[in-house]
C-alpha cells in the first residue's frame, strides 16, 4: 500500500527545480525539514527495532538455555534420588535379612532347649513309671 502511494506521488508530483533555492517557498522548506526529521526518526526507529529484535533473540536463547539446564538438573536430581533410594532399600533389605536370621537362630535355640527339656522330662517320667509299678508289686 505504501509503495502504491509513493508511486502515485512520484507520478503526479511536479518536478522541482533544485537550482532555484533562493526563491523557495518557506512552506516547502518547512515540509522538507519535516520530511528529513521523519526520515531520521524512521531510521532511529529501525535501529531501535533491530536492537530490540537482537535483544529478544538473546533473551530467548538465555530462556531456552535456562530451561534446558533446569530439565537436565531435574533429570540428574531425580536419577540421583532414585539411586539413593535403591541403595537405602538394599541396605534395609540386608538389615532385615540379618534380623530375621538372628531371630531364626534365637528361635532355633529356644526350640532346642524346649526339646531337650521335654526329652529330660520324658526320661524322668519313664524312669518314675518303671519305679512305680515295681514298688506296687
Into how many domains does the chain fold? 1
DSSP assignment of 15-59 equals: PP-TT--TT--HHHHHHHHHHHHHHHHHHHHHHHHHHHHHHHHHH
Q: Note the pLDDT of residue 58.
A: 96
Within a domain: 123: yes
Residue 104 lies in a domain: yes
pTM, entire model: 0.46
Residue 74 in any domain: the answer is yes
Residue 9 resides in a domain: no
Residue 14 lies in a domain: no
Q: What is the pLDDT of residues 14-68, one digit of tens each?
A: 555 554 455 568 888 889 999 999 999 999 999 999 999 999 999 999 999 999 9
* Residue 127 pLDDT grade (very low, low, confident, very high; cuts 50, 70, 90): confident
Kind and range of the H or E element at 96?
A: helix 26-136
Give the phi and the psi of residue 13 in degrees, each rounded to 5. -75, 145
pLDDT value of residue 2: 59
pLDDT band at 6 (very low <50, low <70, confident <90, very high): low
Domain with 99 in it: 26-129
Amino acid at each position: 500500500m505504501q509503495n502504491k502511494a509513493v508511486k502515485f506521488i512520484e507520478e503526479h508530483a511536479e518536478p522541482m527545480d533544485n537550482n532555484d533555492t533562493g526563491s523557495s517557498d518557506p512552506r516547502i522548506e518547512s515540509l522538507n525539514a519535516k520530511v528529513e526529521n521523519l526520515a531520521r526518526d524512521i531510521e532511529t526507529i529501525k535501529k531501535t527495532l533491530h536492537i530490540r529484535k537482537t535483544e529478544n533473540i538473546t533473551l530467548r536463547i538465555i530462556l531456552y538455555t535456562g530451561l534446558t539446564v533446569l530439565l537436565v538438573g531435574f533429570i540428574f536430581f531425580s536419577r540421583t534420588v532414585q539411586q539413593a533410594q535403591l541403595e537405602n532399600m538394599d541396605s534395609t533389605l540386608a538389615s532385615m535379612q540379618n534380623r530375621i536370621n538372628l531371630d531364626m537362630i534365637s528361635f532355633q535355640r529356644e526350640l532346642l532347649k524346649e526339646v531337650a527339656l521335654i526329652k529330660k522330662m520324658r526320661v524322668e517320667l519313664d524312669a518314675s513309671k518303671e519305679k512305680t509299678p515295681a514298688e506296687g508289686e
